[in-house]
Chains A and B, each alone.
Chain A
Amino acid sequence: MIEAYNKHYIITDKQNRIVFGWSDGPHPDRDPALAICINERGGYQFRLRPGGEENPPLRTTDGIPLYRWDGEQAVARTEEEIAADRAAIPLPPPSPQEQLRADVDFLAAMQGVSL
C-alpha cells in the first residue's frame, strides 16, 4: 500500500512564535534545514496537532503569529500577547499621496489658506 505518512514542520522566530508551518506532502521541495519537525507520521496536509484543522491560519490578517512553540507543542498566544505585538509594529511610512497632501497642507498653512 502507499504509505500515507508525511512530516510536518514549523519555523519559529527568536521569541518562539510560530511564523510558518507546512507538510512535506504538498511541499516536498521546501527546505526543512531551519525548521522543527513536529510530526514525523502526519497526514498529507499540515496540522499543528494530530486531528487538528488542516492548514490552520498561523497569523492574524495583519501578520501577527497566533501560536508559540513551548518546546513540545503549539500553544495559542493570548489576546494580550497579540495586542502587544500589534502595538509594537512601527507605523508604515506615508504613501506618496499622504506625503503630497501633507505638502499641500503645509503650503496652504504658510499662505494662511484653509483647505
Chain B
Amino acid sequence: MSEKNLVGYYTSRYSGEEIDRMLAGFSNPNLLDNWYFVGGGSQQGGGQFPLNQRASVAYGSGNGEYFIDRWRINGSCELMPDGLLLKPATLICQFFEEQLKQYLDGKLVTASIWFEDGTYYFGSSVYHKASSANTTLCSLPGAFAALIGSDGNFYLRADYTSVDGIKPGAVKLELGSAPTLAHQDTSGNWVLNDLPNYQQELAKCQRYYWKSDMIYASATFYGNLYLICNVVFPVKMRTTPAVAIIAPDGTLYKVGIWANSVTVDLPATPNVLNADGFDSIYFGGGSIDTNNIYAFRVAASADV
C-alpha cells in the first residue's frame, strides 16, 4: 500500500477493549414495544414486566390473538420470572403501524435477543414492508428465529424441533447494523444496556389497549337510555377503539348495580366514543333505573 493511500487513515488512541467499554452503555431506541420479558408479568401489580393487561399467566391461540400487550401469538407460552417461555413451534408477532413500515422500508435493521443465562444473538438485514418471503434477521437452528415477515411485521419463532421451547428475556429491533441491546461485562457475560422504563412502556402499550379497574357512575341519565360516565383513556389511543363494557361479575357488554352486584340484563355500548374516551353508555334494549349507581370495567382495543 502506498503512502498516498494511507492519507486519511486514523489510528485510535484507544485500544479495542477501551472502545468496547466506552460504547458499552450506548443504546439505540427499540422499535418494539413491551420488549423486556423478565419479571413474570404486570398482572402481579408491582410494576413487573412484561406489560400484561389481559392478565393471564399462560396463553394459547391458533389464530394470532393478542396476549401480552402489543404481541400476538400462534402456539402457547407461559410468563415466567426469568423470561417468556415459548413452547416449541410457537410464533409471537408484533404488528407495526403503516407509517413505521413506510419509514423502515429499504433500511438496514438489526434484531437482537438476550437470554437471562447471559447468551445473546443478533443479526441484520434490509427491511421490506412487503415481500414475497420472510427475512431472517438472526437465528439459532433448532431453537429460534427472529424475522421480518413477508407482511412487514416482526416475528419471533420457537422452532418445532426445540425440545423445551425457548425463554427469551429481552428482544430488540433497531435501525442500523449495530446491536445495542446488550454488552459483555468484564467477566464476559452479556448484560443489558438498558432496562425499560415501566411508565413509558405502559403508556406506549395503552395507546393500543387499555383495561380499566372498576369504574362507578351515578344515576345521571338522558332519557333513561344513557348512563353518563365520562370515561377518559389514560393515553390518547391510536384510533377510535373497539370497547367492551364489562360487568363486575365478568359478563361482557353489560353493567352491574353497585349496591347489590346484580348485572343489568341490557346491552351496554359506549356512546360518543373517540380516541380520547367516551361520554356515556347507551342501553339500546331499554331503559334503566335512575336510582342506582352502576359499576363496570372497560376494555378498549385500538390494536393494529
A57 within 8 A of B: yes
Q: Is the CB of A1 within 8 A of B224?
A: no
B230 within 8 A of A: no
Q: Is the CB of A45 within 8 A of B242?
A: yes
Number of interface residues of A (CB under 8 A): 30
Task: Determine, out of A26-34, A71-79, A80-88, A107-115, the stretch whose residues face the partner at the interface.
Answer: A26-34
B301 within 8 A of A: yes
Q: Is the CB of B239 within 8 A of A1?
A: no
Complex: A46 Cα to B241 Cα, angstroms: 9
Q: Is the CB of B253 within 8 A of A63?
A: no
The residues of A that contact B155 with a CB separation of less than 8 Å are 1-2
Which of B95, B224, B272, B301 has a CB less than 8 Å from the CB of A26?
A: B301
The residues of B that contact A45 with a CB separation of less than 8 Å are 239, 242, 301-303
Closest to A61 in B: B272
Closest to B279 in A: A61
The residues of B that contact A1 with a CB separation of less than 8 Å are 91, 93, 134, 149-151, 153, 155
Grouping DSSP codes into helix (H, G, I), strand (E, B) and loop, the A interface class, with mixed when no group exceeds half, is loop
Q: Residue among A1, A46, A53, A63 with the most chain B CB within 10 A?
A: A1
Complex: A70 Cα to B72 Cα, angstroms: 36
Closest to A54 in B: B239
The residues of A that contact B244 with a CB separation of less than 8 Å are 26-27
B122 within 8 A of A: no
Q: Smallest CB–CB gap between B173 and chain A, Å? A: 17
B46 within 8 A of A: no
Q: Is the CB of B223 within 8 A of A59?
A: no
Which of B222, B224, B240 has a CB less than 8 Å from the CB of A56?
A: B240
Complex: A25 Cα to B64 Cα, angstroms: 9
Interface string of B140-158 (1 = CB under 8 A from A): 0000000001110101000
Q: Residue among A19, A27, A95 with the most chain B CB within 10 A?
A: A27
Q: Is the CB of B273 within 8 A of A55?
A: yes
Which of B151, B224, B241, B252 has a CB less than 8 Å from the CB of A55?
A: B241
Q: Is the CB of B64 within 8 A of A26?
A: no
Q: Is the CB of B303 within 8 A of A25?
A: yes
Q: Is the CB of B151 within 8 A of A4?
A: yes
The residues of A that contact B239 with a CB separation of less than 8 Å are 45, 54-55
Q: Is the CB of B223 within 8 A of A54?
A: no
Q: Smallest CB–CB gap between A20 and chain B, Å? A: 7
Interface string of B251-277 (1 = CB under 8 A from A): 011000000000000000101110000
Interface string of A2-43 (1 = CB under 8 A from B): 111000000000000001101101111110000000000000
List, sorted by A's number, 16 A–B pairs whose CB atoms are closer than 8 Å.
A1-B93, A1-B151, A1-B153, A2-B74, A19-B284, A23-B242, A26-B241, A28-B65, A44-B303, A46-B242, A55-B242, A61-B271, A63-B225, A63-B282, A92-B224, A95-B290
Please give me the 4 A-B residue pairs with the lowest Cβ-Cβ distance, nearest first: A2-B64, A26-B242, A26-B301, A92-B223
